[in-house]
Each structure stands twice: as C-alpha cells, then as structure tokens.
Amino acid sequence: MKKTLNFSILLVTFGLFAMPARAYAASLLEVYQQALQSDPRIHEAEARRLAALEAEPQARGVLLPQVTFSGDWSTTDSSGTSIFNSQAGIPTPVNTDSDSDTTRWQFQLTQTLFRWDQIVGLRRADSLVAKAEADREAAQQDLVVRVGQTYFNVLGAEDRLTSLHANRQAIARQLEQAKQRFDVGLIAITDVQESQAAYDQAVADEIGAKRSLATAREFLREITGEYVSNLSAPGDEFPMRAPAPASEKAWVDMALGQNLVLVSSRLDEKLARDEISFRRNGHYPTIELIATTGEFDTTAERITDNIVPPFDPPRITSNPDSDGSSDSIRIQLNLPLFSGGSTSSRVREAVYLHRAAREQLQRVTRETERQTRDAYLGVLSEMSRVQALEQAVASSRTALEATQAGFDVGTRTIVDVLDSQFALYRSITLFYQARYDYLMNVLRLKQAAGNLQIQDLEEIDQWLKERKTPEEVFAEEAAAASSQD
C-alpha cells in the first residue's frame, strides 16, 4: 500500500505538465511580440537602419547643384592728416574725414563635373543601405532565437525545480518511513542517517533550483521589459518533424546563399573594396562649374579741411558713392600634385582594411556552414533523444516500482530506493529539456538558412498548452497539507 501511495503521488506531482492552469499563461508568440516592442537591441538595429537609409540622399545631394548665398554690410569711419605739395612746391597739410556704408550680396552655384569620390560615394551608399537592411533582418531573427532560448530556459528551470521539489518530498516520506521502521526495529540506524543525508542534499538542490529559476526569469525580463510569471509549455501531443529538405547539403547551400550575417559580411567586404577607390581620389583631378552673380552699393562722404593759411579753399566736401553688379561663370580644375605622402598612406590603409574584411568574410562563411550543419544534426539527434528519454521515463518508473518492492521485502536498501526516485525525476526533466532543445535547434537551423520567420513561432504556438507554475503547485500542496492537519 505504501508503495502504491508513493507512486501515485509521483504521477500527480508531474501531472502539472498536462494540467490546465487557472491563470492565463503567455505563449511564445506573445512573449516575442512583447520583446519586439521593448527589446533595446531590436530598437538599436532599427535606428541604425534608419540612419543608414540617409546615405543615399546624402550621396545624391553632393552630385546636384550647390547654391550658396552670401551678403554683408559694413560701415567705415576714418580721419587723418595728409600732406600735399602745392603748385609752388610748398607742402600743404590737410585734414581728411570720411565715412562710408557698403552693402554686398552674392549668389554662387557650383556644379560638379567630375569628382571620383562622389561617384564612388553613390555606389557605396547603395551597399550601406543593403547592409543596414540585412543587419535589421538579422537582428529580428536573432530576437526570435533569443526569445525562444530564454523562454525555454525558464520552462526548463521550472521543470528542474518541480523535479527537485518532488524528489525532496519523496525523500521526506522515505525518511519518515525509515524512522518509523527504525523505531520498531525493522531497519538499522544507518538507513535513517542515509535518508536524512539525502533529504538535506535535496533541500540544498531545491534552493539552488529556485535561484536558477529566478535568474532565468530575469533574463526573460531583460528582453521583454517586464516579468512574465506564467508560460505555456509543449503538450504531450507535441509533434516532431524532420527538417525539410532532408538533406544536410541542401541546408548548407541555402545558408551560404541567404544567411543574413553572411550577406552583411559580403557587403562589408564590398564596402572595404570601394573604400580603396574612394581614397584614391586624392590622386585624381576635380572639375567644377562655378557661376556667381551679385551686387554692391556704397554710400560715402569725404570732408577735406585746409589747416594752413590762407585756408583756400577752407573745406571740400565730396560724396564718392558707387554701386554695381557682377556676373561670372568659370570652370575650375584642381589637380593634386603632392600631399606629403598622406594620400598614398590612406590608400594603403584601405587595402589592409579590405584584406581584413576579406578574411572576416571567410571566417563568417565557415562559421555559417558549421552552425548550419550543427543545427541540422541537432534536430535529428534531439528527435531520437526525445524518443529514447520517453522510454527512459517509462523504464525508470518500472525500476522504481521494483526497487520499492524489493525494499519492502528487505532485498533492496533505502539508498537504492532514493537513487531510483532521483533517476525517475531526472529522466522526466531530461525528457522535457530534450523537447525544448529540439525546438531551439529547429529555430537555429532556420536562422542559419536565413528563412526564420514569425510563422515558425505561430506553428510552435499551436502545440503549447497552459500549465501551472511551480509556485502555484507548491501553494496548492501547502493548502492541501494544512487542510489535512
């Protein structure tokens, strides 16, 4: 009877994985949508994309006519003494006072006829925009994977806590039974001590599991911006499908063609190559058409006083006003001859940076191929692993029943029972974790291939079911225990 009671409690404890929760549980798609609104990384990527989009109008703008307007107003007031020779050859000093107001304005139009840096700049702008788009799409796919990883990390931490909690409760019951049997002389004190040691270790493990769950939830909050207390989990009928196409080479070829990180690296290499041409502009001539039109207007007054008798004439006043306009058009050629070697140095720097970009592209290509193969094999291996662990759960349950029966008749020790209980809980936890790993490998495979979409989350959501959190289960257990007391 005791054996049947223990096994029934075990099934009820892990029944929470299939039981509907009373509180609403968020789905994977809902958590992703929440992260899409609040994750700083995706907002940063969007802002960088918008900034990069401005490269094209800036590159086109310098090729169009540039019109500038300039104007100034100035006033001048001066006075002084000048000496002139009269007709008789006698030096004659005079005082001169003058003031003037001048207004000038000018329009200038500059049209580039040839500038190699502007031509290359327009070509580079297209690559910058394409790279920004690829980076933004890569950030969105990365968000899907990060949300999925943190989401399933929380579920895995909840599973582990539930498993360790159930293990502690089972050990507590075994400890109580061991004490009762020791009191009537059926077992030795060593069995009680071993049960006590196992219980103490189980308490420590449960404390650590609670800490791990809190950390996992904190990582999820970092992405979503707020705590999500209840998550849906894959139900028992969750299907597992092999990758389509069922060819490792096909997935690798797909990844090498459209993996977004690889596409961005290719554009980086192209931009580095264009930078070499851009910096060579320091050796090339520039030709510009410059047209100007403007006017000026000067109002002036000059007063001259003789300061030597006979003061004839005593004062001369004049108004030398002037105004005019000017129009000009010219073609300006600038040919660099020598810049101290700085232009050649900048070109060599660009060549080295292009070499680095080319090596980076090679590295990313190899990483992409490795990640794709690893994710493809991971999907297949996790499918087999889930099936094997499902069988291991059934075998562990049977082994626990047999070990408990052997303990009842004295052929097995309390340590054997405790080990069997822990093995069962561990196999159940590993079974659920293997399903999470399968889903993450599916997401990573599609990310490596560059075709990860929100529809993939929608498909997973169809098989997620609401379940109770460990805290809700523990609260119900406490309430049930207090009512029995």
The parent domain of residue 148 ranges over 2-64+115-284+336-484
Same domain, 164 and 259: yes
Domain of residue 262, CATH code: 1.20.1600.10
* pLDDT computed for residue 397 by the predictor: 92
Instruction: Dump pLDDT digits (tens) for 234-245.
Output: 988 888 899 999
* pLDDT computed for residue 310 by the predictor: 57
Rg (CA), the chain: 42
Same domain, 72 and 194: no
Q: Which of 101-105, 132-136, 410-414 has the lowest mean pLDDT?
A: 410-414
Q: What is the average pLDDT across 214-231? A: 92
- Tell me the CA distances in angstroms from 97 to 84, 94, 312, 332, one per residue in order: 16, 10, 18, 42
349 neighbors 274 (Cβ within 8 angstroms): no
Instruction: Dump pLDDT digits (tens) for 145-199.
Output: 999 999 999 999 999 999 899 888 888 888 888 888 888 887 788 888 888 998 8
138 neighbors 264 (Cβ within 8 angstroms): yes
Return the DSSP state at 282: G
464 neighbors 21 (Cβ within 8 angstroms): no
Domain final position from 316, 335, 354: 335
Burial state string for 28-41 with b = 16 or more CB within 10 A and e = fewer than 16: bbbbbebbbeebee
Q: What share of the chain is helix, strand, coil (3-state, %, to 5)?
A: 65, 20, 15
Q: What is the average pLDDT across 311-324? A: 68
Percent of the chain scoring above 90 in pLDDT: 55
* pLDDT computed for residue 7 by the predictor: 38
Q: What is the average pLDDT across 25-39? A: 91
pLDDT at 24 over 80: no
Same domain, 98 and 137: no
Q: Please classify residue 342 by burial: count the beta carbons closer than 10 Å to its beta carbon, then call 0-12 exposed, 13-18 middle and 19+ buried.
A: exposed
Residue 483: count of CB within 10 angstroms of its CB: 7
Considering only residues 97 and 338, tell me which one the structure prediction assigns the higher pLDDT: 338
Residue 271: count of CB within 10 angstroms of its CB: 19
Same domain, 278 and 153: yes
* pLDDT computed for residue 87 by the predictor: 55
pLDDT at 355 over 90: yes
Looking at the 3D structure of the chain, how many domains does it have?
A: 2
Q: What is the average pLDDT across 71-85? A: 78
Q: What is the average pLDDT across 132-142? A: 94
Can you say how many angstroms the Cα of residue 479 is from the centroid of all Cα atoms in its chain?
45
Instruction: Dump pLDDT digits (tens) for 362-390.
Output: 999 999 999 999 999 999 999 999 999 99
Considering only residues 477 and 304, tell me which one the structure prediction assigns the higher pLDDT: 477
Same domain, 293 and 251: no
Q: What is the average pLDDT across 419-428? A: 88
* pLDDT computed for residue 134 by the predictor: 94
Query: Closest Cα to residue 428, out of 386, 472, 466, 384?
Result: 386
Instruction: Dump pLDDT digits (tens) for 263-317.
Output: 999 999 999 999 998 888 888 899 999 999 999 888 877 776 666 565 555 666 6
Same domain, 392 and 458: yes
Which is it for the CA torsion 263, 265, 267, 269, positive or negative? negative
Same domain, 330 and 341: no
Residue 341 Ramachandran class (φ > 0 left, ψ -120 to 50 alpha, else beta): left
* pLDDT computed for residue 314 by the predictor: 60
Same domain, 108 and 133: no
Same domain, 301 and 170: no
Same domain, 319 and 192: no
397 neighbors 3 (Cβ within 8 angstroms): no
263's tokens: 């596409």
Domain final position from 311, 335, 359: 335
Helices (H) and strands (E) in the chain, counts: 12, 7
Same domain, 327 and 453: no
Task: Give the confidence band of 20 by pLDDT, cuts at 50, 70, 90.
Answer: very low
Domain final position from 309, 335, 361: 335
* pLDDT computed for residue 89 by the predictor: 59
Task: Give the confidence band of 444 by pLDDT, cuts at 50, 70, 90.
Answer: very high
Same domain, 217 and 234: yes
Q: Please classify residue 59 by burial: count the beta carbons closer than 10 Å to its beta carbon, then call 0-12 exposed, 13-18 middle and 19+ buried.
A: buried
